Amino acid sequence: MLLEESLAMVLKKYRLKSKLTQEELAFRCELDRTYISLIERKKRRPTLNVIFIICRNLNIKPSLLVEEVEALMKQDE
């Protein structure tokens, strides 16, 4: 599985778990709603800084997000 696809799945999972819309998450992160949408649609690769901001607003550790993304990517190896 590609990085973009894995990140999209994990981000969406935690966003929904937090019961946030893309718009609500983007507002909390001070990002454009379309940016969250683009990440979830596998069109963007966020910077490390953005990942930390998103994780802080989802109340998860960035390392957890990265571990889950990495695990999904390894499934196809």
CATH code, domain with 32 = 1.10.260.40
What global pTM score does this model have? 0.92
pLDDT at 64 over 80: yes
What is the three-state SS of 42-67?
Answer: CCCCCCHHHHHHHHHHHCCCHHHHHH
Which domain covers residue 62, as residue numbers? 3-74
Whether 76 shows a pLDDT value over 90: the answer reads no
Give me the pLDDT at residue 1, please. Answer: 75
| Structural domain count, the chain | 1
Q: Rg of the chain over CA atoms, in angstroms?
A: 11
- For 13-61, the pLDDT digits (tens) are 999 999 999 999 999 999 998 999 999 999 999 999 999 999 999 999 9
Asked whether the predicted pLDDT for residue 7 surpasses 80, the reply is: yes
